[in-house]
Chain A
């Protein structure tokens, strides 16, 4: 399996009025062809900024650096804006959370789809149009030809997100980065969109980075998982490993928090992790989860906790003996 994306030692900093936000600290991961990697975590964990750093789309107040950032075997570090513009939308596509704001309300669907193609391919407009129709049908939109002349506001949220997926596929990307692609959609639509994404990934053998806070989505979609907390990767592994045998206290805590319908005792309390999710501004040192962790020892406050390998592709950022047995 070919490696589509390889990241090592990624750091992202954001300048805020309150100080420097160390949004991403020393994050490393890789994605293979045809594989779904999920970056999962809560707000402030840095998952979205990681994706933006890869595409070099950080806000003006953001800076990133990495030891290694290779896409299809070629380094993305030091590539200028023109170079990145060639990659974005072509070999690397991104699907955002809000279909309402991701599509330009002033242009027709057809216009935007064709533009995505014509930006990167020197072909006649008719060919772009044909490809747009082909992909709209692929994402399950009926009467595709007539949809081309519709405007975004004429479509529902679910349809818009399908259009976004079609737009991402226009140039046949090797990697799709989907940032909370179904969070803004209704529950019944969510399952359909995810199934669609999954099928398309398999058909076109693309790599997929699925960024989400929803553990249910992760469980059903992901091949491999990286759990993030406060800017760091705290656990990695196969989806089955993470869900059947979570190691990091944060991952375990998260699993307890998920209420599963149909398996609830009346009056039963939901599991929670005491305390609040921290924002990584300030003088960070030691384990950033230690103030909410039940396995806390004084050594957890010492220098930075390394990612300990438990097996191929399986690692935990925790030095507690109870975890690493």
Chain B
């Protein structure tokens, strides 16, 4: 006899809905309805496609200089042409191609930095939140120290010592911006720790490792993904800032931050050289933030049936 064998017939005979959606189904349905999520994902998809298909999309080689074709205006200005829709920069390089290839730099650095930071921060946060006591004290101290240091300043200092390059930027930023991961994962783990299913798993004989990976992590994923998305955005912005200061990616690599820096001197007469990469950065960051917020809204209050 099971719970649904009742005196007469099944629950579904009453017309009552018996099959409830799984947690994942509920999530996907909410995603489809959330405007911020949809806009953000669309932006991300477009930029990723742009990066992946760069060789196909870009009309010219972003590195190819043509000093006789310097400072050509955009197609909507006087003397512009479709040969160079966004004009050329002071070295005669096609701006559209540089923008398109610039997305590769932003995305690659953004994601790599995020992966490094996530690994460090999540591990620290998990250990601090689960074990508490002295482990928590040490990790909290580390977080406090890290938060006391302004990220850009430290990055600048390190680069000044070692010299700037793409690899250095990735390593420096990766080892710097793990703080948000640590804080969020620590708080989430602290909430999960006292749950009875953790105690039940322990009573069932699970090792600590099994509990952390099998019981705690799956319940952290929601928060983790939100932070990951937002930190990618943060990393992209930081890279742009470093490159702008000349401390990041080195010329002639097409980074949007670097492009803004190189266009500083022409700001008054050819402002489009600054605004175009600025808009590109803005749109990508806005999209990532909308996406992160959307994921958080969609996954946050997971209702009970």
Closest beta carbon of chain B to A19's beta carbon, Å: 6
Question: Contact flags (1/0) for B1-44 with A, using CB distance below 8 Å?
Answer: 00111111111011111001100001001100000000000000
Closest beta carbon of chain B to A48's beta carbon, Å: 15
Tell me the bound Cα distance from A287 to B151 in angstroms.
Answer: 66
> Nearest CB to that of A296 among chain B residues?
B8
**Contact A291/B305 with A18-B17, A279-B16, A281-B16 known, Cβ cut-off 8 Å:** no
Count contacts on B: residues with CB < 8 A to the other chain. Answer: 21
Closest beta carbon of chain B to A310's beta carbon, Å: 24
Complex partner residue of B7 from A18, A279, A284, A292, CB under 8 angstroms: A292
> A280–B8 contact, CB under 8 A?
no
Chain A residues lying within 8 Å of B5, measured Cβ to Cβ, are 274
The verdict on A222 contacting chain B, using a C-beta distance below 8 Å, is no
Residues of A271-301 at the interface with B, using a CB-CB cut-off of 8 Å, are 274-276, 278-286, 288, 290-294, 296, 301
The verdict on A17 contacting chain B, using a C-beta distance below 8 Å, is yes
Complex partner residue of A17 from B7, B11, B14, B26, CB under 8 angstroms: B26
Chain A residues lying within 8 Å of B150, measured Cβ to Cβ, are none
> A290–B14 contact, CB under 8 A?
yes
Complex partner residue of B6 from A16, A275, A281, A282, CB under 8 angstroms: A275
> B16–A282 contact, CB under 8 A?
yes
Count contacts on A: residues with CB < 8 A to the other chain. Answer: 24
Chain B residues lying within 8 Å of A294, measured Cβ to Cβ, are 7
> Nearest CB to that of A44 among chain B residues?
B305
Tell me the bound Cα distance from A283 to B14 in angstroms.
Answer: 8
Interface residues of B, dominant DSSP: loop
Closest beta carbon of chain B to A13's beta carbon, Å: 14
Chain B residues lying within 8 Å of A286, measured Cβ to Cβ, are 14-15
> A279–B4 contact, CB under 8 A?
no
> B6–A292 contact, CB under 8 A?
yes
> Nearest CB to that of B20 among chain A residues?
A18
> Nearest CB to that of B27 among chain A residues?
A17
Tell me the bound Cα distance from A286 to B6 in angstroms.
Answer: 17
**Contact A275/B4 with A17-B26, A18-B21, A18-B305 known, Cβ cut-off 8 Å:** yes
Tell me the bound Cα distance from A286 to B9 in angstroms.
Answer: 14
> A288–B7 contact, CB under 8 A?
no
Closest beta carbon of chain B to A257's beta carbon, Å: 15
The verdict on B218 contacting chain A, using a C-beta distance below 8 Å, is no
> B3–A275 contact, CB under 8 A?
yes
Question: Contact flags (1/0) for B281-305 with A, using CB distance below 8 Å?
Answer: 0000000000000000000000101
Q: Which residues of A are at the interface with B, using a C-beta cutoff of 8 A?
A: 16-19, 274-276, 278-286, 288, 290-294, 296, 301
23 contacts between A and B (CB under 8 A): A17-B29, A17-B30, A18-B21, A18-B26, A275-B4, A278-B11, A279-B16, A279-B305, A282-B15, A282-B16, A282-B17, A284-B16, A285-B14, A286-B14, A286-B15, A288-B14, A288-B16, A290-B9, A290-B14, A291-B11, A291-B13, A292-B6, A294-B7
Q: Which residues of B are at the interface with A, using a C-beta cutoff of 8 A?
A: 3-11, 13-17, 20-21, 26, 29-30, 303, 305
With A279-B17, A291-B6 given, can you name 20 additional A-B contacts, CB distance below 8 Å? A17-B21, A17-B30, A18-B20, A275-B3, A275-B6, A275-B7, A276-B3, A276-B11, A278-B16, A279-B305, A280-B16, A282-B15, A284-B16, A285-B15, A290-B9, A290-B13, A291-B7, A291-B10, A293-B8, A296-B8
Give me the 8 closest cross-chain CB pairs, A-B, nearest first. Answer: A275-B6, A282-B17, A283-B15, A281-B17, A296-B8, A17-B26, A282-B16, A274-B6
